[in-house]
Structure 1
Amino acid sequence: MSSGSDSNRVDSDTDDSSPSASTSRKRPKLAYKQKYKKDWEKQMPWLQESQNGASFGWCKACKCDIKITHGKGDLVKHEYTSKHTKSCVSTVGQKTITSMFAEKTKEMTTEMRAKEAEIRIAGFVAEHNLPFKIMEHLPDLMRAVCSDSAIAGIFVMKCICHSFHLCASYACEKLPEEVEKFARYVYNYFSNSPKRTEELKEFQQFANVSPVKMLHPSSTRWLSLESVVTRLLTQYGALTLYFTDKASSKKDQAAFSILHLLQQP
């Protein structure tokens, strides 16, 4: 009898540990967590991503997080709450910072475009060597021809000489500083020394150029720069010979510095 009971116990143990018994047990289901979807923002403009993770959405009207455990249904439920409705009504009449800056940027853009038009027209007149007098009548003509343009309506060209002075002064700032320094060094070298001026005349005669004085580059009248540079170019050969002779003595440091600038390309 004991042997029979023992065999039954063994059989029962064997049945419990069999593969069929283990597979028959139900495995627990894993809970699915709904994640935020960017497409929801197209239907709900008040919605954006939350900083608390993908399981939340952020309501821009209520300024709060919304848990989206059940997906889009949680968002729809929040949308019809009294809190959300009141928040949306209060924000309708308010201007956002972005819209305020956009309006200001539009005004600034029109103003900048008008300034650009002034610079382009001034450059066109200078490039084609047109008489400055036409600028006294051109703005009125542009307003008449381009009556549908906002830029032509605010186009103002005041003193033409002053406008061209500003343009040319800014353009001269783009020139290498060595050019103006060289012109000033040459003028200062001869301006206070009649002896040096007389010595230069000998080299000018040798180079077959007119014995003229060096010009001073004015800091306020940009028109004088052209005549200064032209004078230096016509006297370039005579100046090179003169300062080569002076620099050979190795005592005149000013002459050596000017010669160094002369020899630069």
Structure 2
Amino acid sequence: MGGGVKKHYWQCFRKDYSEEFSFILKSDKGQKYAFCSVCRCDISISHGGRSDILLHVKSNKHAGNVQNSENSQKISTFFTNSSSEDSVTRAECLFTYFLIEHNVPLSAADHAGPLFRKMFPKSEEAQKYACGRTKTTAIVEEMAKDSRDDVVKHLQTGPFSLSTDGTNDTDSKLYPIVVTYFDKNIENIVSSVLSLPDLQGDSTGLNIGNLIINELERFNIPLKNMIAFSADNAAVMMGKKNGVVAVLKNRQENLFVMGCLCHRINLAAEKGTDNLPLNVEEALTDIFYYLEKSGKRKDCLKKFQNLHGCETRKILKHVCTKWLSLGKSLTRLVEQWDPLLSFFKDQVKCVKPSCSVGISSFTIPKQPASDHSVQPLVSKSSKSSQQGFSLKRKHSESEDKIITKKTGTSHNEGKSTFPSVRSENQKSLVNITSGSLSLEEKLFMFLSSSVNKAFCLFLLHIHRFIFWEN
């Protein structure tokens, strides 16, 4: 028999190759090949099968590729979880809005991140929270930009009114521009701050008017859409020749001008209260400063507040330059009237009489049935720095003459800056000097009068809408 051709047996890819070598996969070239995922190439395994794979693993090419793959990072590590990132951004925006809403300094944001990480150690958002004052300031600017853009769109397409007033800060001259317009989306009238420009130069009507015009032109807002202008009644604002109104009317002839209603109402109320026989502002100021610097007096007042069943509240300070504070201060005074009366009565007992005519010699006056005039215990002084109290004292005619002689006044003068005392036995008037009564005695006599309390209730009732109680 003749010799035949030797038959060759070719090796094929087997699944156990991938189990033994995790980087060896099935090749797309056929059964006689295997794919190395490290070297990204096809290997012929037709002759030795597993032996061919081992030869490839021991090669320098495969060893170098393995080392490079170990030193390199996966591309997935360069991408963060979008949902986690969004939650952190949301937390930063919410806390920034919290700072704005409660008027907290933005520097507080520097301490927020470390605080949150200590408070919520297991929270992923707290660990990634990184929003200091710089980033918080940027977020505030973006929030303001979005809000301002919405306002500008309404002003560019519809009518609006504008009002402004300067700050009393000596370092900068800020003139906040407040606009009022009708928002069709919510079907309501909206008032918003458009911008807060800083005036360069003197605060003249020409400069302020040009500042307003430049701000409107900066936002491409047509001047014809401004139909009304409101400001306080100062000449620099309302002057028809050199005021802000004159500058604006040169560009908008149909502009409607109106002074500040709050200022007008306040001026009218101030003129009206000048005719009242007592000065409530001075009484409020004296009571506040009598209690302000003494913790002992405050504690004593708290005891009388608890005794009368009143809520423990502090007496509010009224500042004449901030006239809106008068309503709140007067409301607090009326609420605490009875505790204050008992408090000053107790204080009078502890104070040494300032003159030979002590407070124990006086009684709270009662209005005679035949006398229809009202005489309060505190009348308004002719000088704003002084305050007097009308008292009724039980004394004889001889004592009456002695007091009159000491004060250097007669019964018929009655022109002292302090009101007079009417004797029970005589209807003549006796003037009391400013040094005759201590502050405790004066405040006690003020609070002792039901007429004075009636005047305070009257003022509080008619001026409630001026004082901005609500």
Question: TM-score interval w.r.t. the shorter chain?
Answer: 0.3 to 0.5
Which TM-score applies when normalising by structure 2?
A: 0.26
Which TM-score applies when normalising by structure 1?
A: 0.42
Larger relative strand fraction = 2
